Structure 1
Amino acid sequence: MPSAAMADFAGLVLAGGASSRMGEDKALLRHGEHSLLELAVRRLTAAGADPVLVSGDRPDYDCVPDSRPGLGPLGGLVSVINERPGLGNRLLLVTAVDTPGLSADNLLALLRSMQAGDSGIHFDDHPLPLVLRVSDALHHALDELLADGQGASVRALAERLECRTLSPAESDLRNINTPADWTAFNRAGELAV
C-alpha cells in the first residue's frame, strides 16, 4: 500500500562532489540547453517535490553547502537534513546530479512503492535514487556511518536502514562519472525527463 504522505515530499540533488574522475564539474555538463544540475532539479520538480534542494555550494539553487566537506554524498545528505529541520518526518527523494537517464516516472514509481513502515526504498542494484523517511533512525544511521570522519556510501546507508528495493522499469540508471561515460551517454541520444 503506498504511503499517504507521498504528496508531501522534498527532493534533494546530490551535487557537491569533486567530479575528480570526470575532470570537470559534472553538474555543469550540458545536455542540449540545460546543465545536468538543471535537468535533475527539473526532474524532481516534475515529480512533485517541494522544495527541491541541492547539496553543495550552488547559489543559483536552494542549496545547502556541505558542513562537513570530504564525506561524500552522505556528508551532503547530513548537511541538508541538519540545516533544514522542517524536513523532519517527511519523505526525501534523493537523486544524484549524474544520472541524466533517470526519468520523473522512475522517481514516482519509487514514491508510490514506499509504504508506511519503510525507512527507505531504492531500485535493485542502484542505491540512488533513494526515497528516505527523515527520522531519528536516519539521523542515527548517518551519525554512525560518518563517526570516523571518512565518509561512507549511500549503499551502506541503505543497508543500515534496511531499505526495501524495487525492480526498475526500463530506464537508464547509470551514473556518468568519466568522460567516456559522458561520450557513451550522448551517443545513445535520448534524455529522460
Structure 2
Amino acid sequence: MNVAGIVLAGGLSSRMGRDKAQLLLAEQTLLTRNVALLSTLKLSDVFVSGQYKDFQCIEDVNPLLGPIGGLDACVNTLFSEYDALFVIPVDMPLLGLEECQFLLNAFATYPQGVFYAQATFPMILPLTKQLKEYLTEALASPHNRQRSLYRLLKILKLQPINVQAENSHRFQNSNTPQEWTDCLATYHALPK
C-alpha cells in the first residue's frame, strides 16, 4: 500500500503566539522531529502541510480553516498517487515511534482508517472519494462544527484504537505556552 506521511504544520499558531513548528525539543524543531519520526516508518513519502524551507511541502489553500484545511490541500494534491495518509500534527511533541508503528499495523486490520480513541491524532486516512466529498462539503460550510475532526472521524467511520494508560502522555498537544511548558516537563521526566 502506498501511504504518504503528513505533518500538519500550516496553522496560524495563534494560541501559542509563535510558530509551533519552530519550537525546540532536544535541540530539534518540532517540525524536523516529526518529519524524522514519520520517515522512520518506511512510508512512501513524507510531506509537510504548510510552507517551510527544506521540506516537501503542500501549501494550505485555506490556512484559516485549521487542520481540515490542511487535510483538504493534502488530499487534493496526493489523491491520485497514494492510497492513504498517515497524519500527525506538528504540536504533538511526545509522540513516539511505538505509537505510530502500532497504528500503522492496526491499519492493515482496519482499512477504513484508524486513530487513537483518546486523541484525534495521529490518524490514517484512506484516500477515498468519500473523504474528498466530505472535505469539500466541510470547507464549503459556514459552520465551524462542520469542520470538526471529530465529525470527520464519525462520518468516515474510522476505527478507534485504544492506547495503554501508561502511554497517554504521548498524545499531549502543545497549543498554548502553558501546554508547551507541561510537555517539556513531561519530556524531561521520561526515562532516557
Tell me how far apart the structure 2 counterparts of residues 116 and 173 of structure 1 sit (CA, whole Å): 22
Deviations 1:4-45 (A, max 9, x none): x3xx31100000011111111100000122100011101100
For 2:177, the equivalent position in structure 1 comes to: 179
TM-score, normalised by the number of residues in structure 1: 0.88
Tell me how far apart the structure 1 counterparts of residues 3 and 59 of structure 2 sit (CA, whole Å): 21
Tell me how far apart the structure 2 counterparts of residues 149 and 47 of structure 1 sit (CA, whole Å): 37
Aligned: 1:41 with 2:35: yes
Q: Is the 8 A contact 2:118 2:163 kept in 1?
A: no
Tell me how far apart the structure 1 counterparts of residues 40 and 54 of structure 2 sit (CA, whole Å): 19
Tell me how far apart the structure 2 counterparts of residues 149 and 80 of structure 1 sit (CA, whole Å): 21
1:15-30 pair list within 5 angstroms:
15-30=9-24
Structure 1 ranges of 4+ moved more than 6 A: none
TM-score, normalised by the number of residues in structure 2: 0.89
Tell me how far apart the structure 2 counterparts of residues 157 and 119 of structure 1 sit (CA, whole Å): 12
Tell me how far apart the structure 2 counterparts of residues 64 and 47 of structure 1 sit (CA, whole Å): 20
Deviates more, 1:61-70 or 1:182-191: 182-191
Q: Which of 133, 157, 160 is matched with 1:162 structurally?
A: 157
Q: Which has the higher helix share?
A: 2
Shift of 1:156: 1.6
Q: Is the 8 A contact 1:12 1:53 kept in 2?
A: yes
Which secondary structure does the structure 2 equivalent of 1:71 belong to?
A: helix
Tell me how far apart the structure 2 counterparts of residues 139 and 132 of structure 1 sit (CA, whole Å): 11
Q: Which of 88, 98, 101 is matched with 2:91 structurally?
A: 98
Q: Is the 8 A contact 1:26 1:36 kept in 2?
A: yes
2:8 is aligned with what amino acid?
L
Shift of 1:105: 1.4
2:158 is aligned with what amino acid?
C
Q: Which of 60, 65, 86 is matched with 2:54 structurally?
A: 60
Deviates more, 1:30-39 or 1:78-87: 78-87
Shift of 1:109: 0.7
Percent identity, aligned pairs only, is 34
Deviations 1:53-93 (A, max 9, x none): 000111321001111231111111111121234444x1210
Q: Which runs of 5+ in 1 are unaligned?
A: none
Q: Which runs of 5+ in 2 are unaligned?
A: none
Shift of 1:149: 5.0
- What is the root-mean-square deviation in Å for CA atoms of aligned residues? 1.9
